[in-house]
Amino acid sequence: MKLTALIAALSIALAAPTAPVLKVREWRAAHERQILAELIQLVSLPNIASNKADIVKNADALTSMFEKRGFGVKRVATPGSPVLIAERAASNASGTLTFYLHYDGQPTEAKDWTMGQPFVPAGFKGTDQIDVLAGTGPVDPDARIYARAVADDKGPIVAFLAAMDGLINLGRPAEIQLAVLVDRGHRQLPIKATYIGKNIPTSREEKIQVLLEEEGEDERVVISKG
């Protein structure tokens, strides 16, 4: 099978959302204000990395948020911000998915903000301030929340937990299937691909390039040093 055909097959498989994905999206749409309320609460906590007392408050809040979803949370002390390791174990698991997120931030000056204040979240549509939690039905997609760390990186934390809520509501999948185009091994995590286009034994010093006809190349896999 040509690489093009394999990529096309993977693209088709990944493009169409499955029934479980649609169910999780439906859950998210029905709980938008609940999700935003949790985000607003989290970004209201000052998280400047040099303020150890505030960082502990963030770590406490995040521990509670993850434990609420059935995660066991371990706190590891460091010279800087504590590292939280949250794990949600599954029986007979065939692999592990690991996500990295951070919760501390750098200093910011309130006088530099033209919309809202760093740790006083405010909703806006354009330049008009709005209450994103008011009303019913879908939240206006043009609404924005301004606050320190609302995007980097507390927003992704809340998005991850909202996705977990949707999955928990749906029920755990019987299995997770992973497709890769080229498998070279050297994994740091115990995740094994279900479908592999081509398996290429290499050393850690070698680099793999996949050249495609769609990019004006003769289709081939090139292995080079460094």
C-alpha distances (whole Å) from 76 to each of 1, 84, 86, 144 are 48, 6, 11, 34
pLDDT in tens, 111-158: 999 998 999 999 999 999 999 999 999 999 999 999 999 998 999 999
Q: Which residues pair with residue 180 across a beta bridge?
A: 196
Average pLDDT across the chain, whole number: 83
**Average pLDDT value for residue range 18-37:** 92
What does the pLDDT read at residue 189?
46
Distance CA 81, CA 76 (A): 9
Q: Residue 165 above 90 pLDDT?
A: yes
Q: Check residue 146 and report its DSSP letter.
A: E
State pTM to two decimals. Answer: 0.69
What does the pLDDT read at residue 1?
45
